[in-house]
Amino acid sequence: MEAEEYLQIMLEIAGSIVAGLLVAALILMLTGYDPWQGLYTMFIGGLSDPDYLLSRSSLIMMTGLAFAIPALASAFNIGGEGQMYVGGMVALVVSLLTKNAFLSILFGSLAGGGLGLLIGALRAYRQVNEVITAIMLNWIFYYLSIYLITAYYYNPIAPYRSLSVPEEAQLGTITLFNARLHVTFFISLALSLIAYFLVFYTKLGYQIRVSGLSQDSARYAGIKPERTFTYSMAIGGIFGGLSGALNVIAFTYYIDQLLTSMFGMGFDGIGVALMGRNNPIGIVLSSIFFSILLLGGQRMQIAMNIPKELTDALSGVIIIALAMPYAYRMLFSYLRVRRLMRVAK
């Protein structure tokens, strides 16, 4: 990527943040709240607990990659939610059976990858729309997980949640600069760097990007776009499964009966991926920023007695402002390729 393009992206992001903050300030003013106090409270509140901030952002980081990598192959992986559920549930069961953190995370990630592989294969080889398949599987695994926790893996002392991950299988915390931090952030950071290397420095990553730009060009270069599409969905599923596995093994150490510790994070990953321009490094930064907005919104509710719906709207405005330029660029690029293909024919 050229230096001029990096500069353009940085200016685009800065302008989007300013525009989003101005609209958020206007909304606060129109609803009778002090806009500057509100925005100050949002960002200071979001930074008040670094451990929770980084731990939460690490999980959204993984669901962001679950969307971003398939998106580079022109696949819309809306199944990060279900992949997170199945990854977390499998990791919990494996931890109870083996008391081994590595095996729990490994099998949780593979379970998510298997789900992504199924969705991708149905789309590539049977033309079953991946969005429809993913949405149905999201709900299937949501209610299946609730059933398993309620019927088999509930905690007798606290039936509202599952059995706890055995201590031998728990990944704990480290102390860094006098701050206690869960290791899940550092694991997710390392995995994001691996994803960056995979996308931009491997043959498979090149094939994924070429197939996403033009399937005809990919075929001309000897690439099979159907297979690449399926691989990208499987890789995305692995990251979705990792999100659920890390949540259970390295953060909460159990699953509550209604899956509230995971619910919605798969969809949050879509916004994070778009804010990060589907770049693994950008997703690291955007997931932290996204988490600041969410946690800061909670602090605004407490400190300024602002309704949750309003704080969610403020966060949404800022996120949309950041995501819109790249979403527009993706759509424009897709339409331009389609037009060129029609002209060539």
Neighbours of 112 (CB within 10 A): 35
* The two three-digit tokens of residue 100, written as one number: 């081994």
Res 288: pLDDT: 92
C-alpha span between 186 and 169 (Å, rounded): 17
Answer whether 0.85 is exceeded by the pTM: yes
User: What is residue 57's predicted lDDT score, i.e. its pLDDT?
Assistant: 94
User: Do 70 and 83 contact (CB within 8 A), yes or no?
Assistant: no
Mean pLDDT, consecutive 10-residue stretches, the chain (345 aa), reads: 65 80 89 88 86 92 96 92 97 97 97 97 93 95 95 92 95 83 94 96 94 85 92 97 96 93 90 88 91 88 87 85 72 64 60
Q: Tell me, what's the pLDDT at 176?
A: 80
Query: Residue type for 62, please?
Result: M
Which tokens is 75 given?
């696949």
Assigned token pair, 270: 């879509």
Q: Which whole-number Å values give the CA distances from 11 to 155, 202, 276, in the listed order?
A: 51, 29, 14
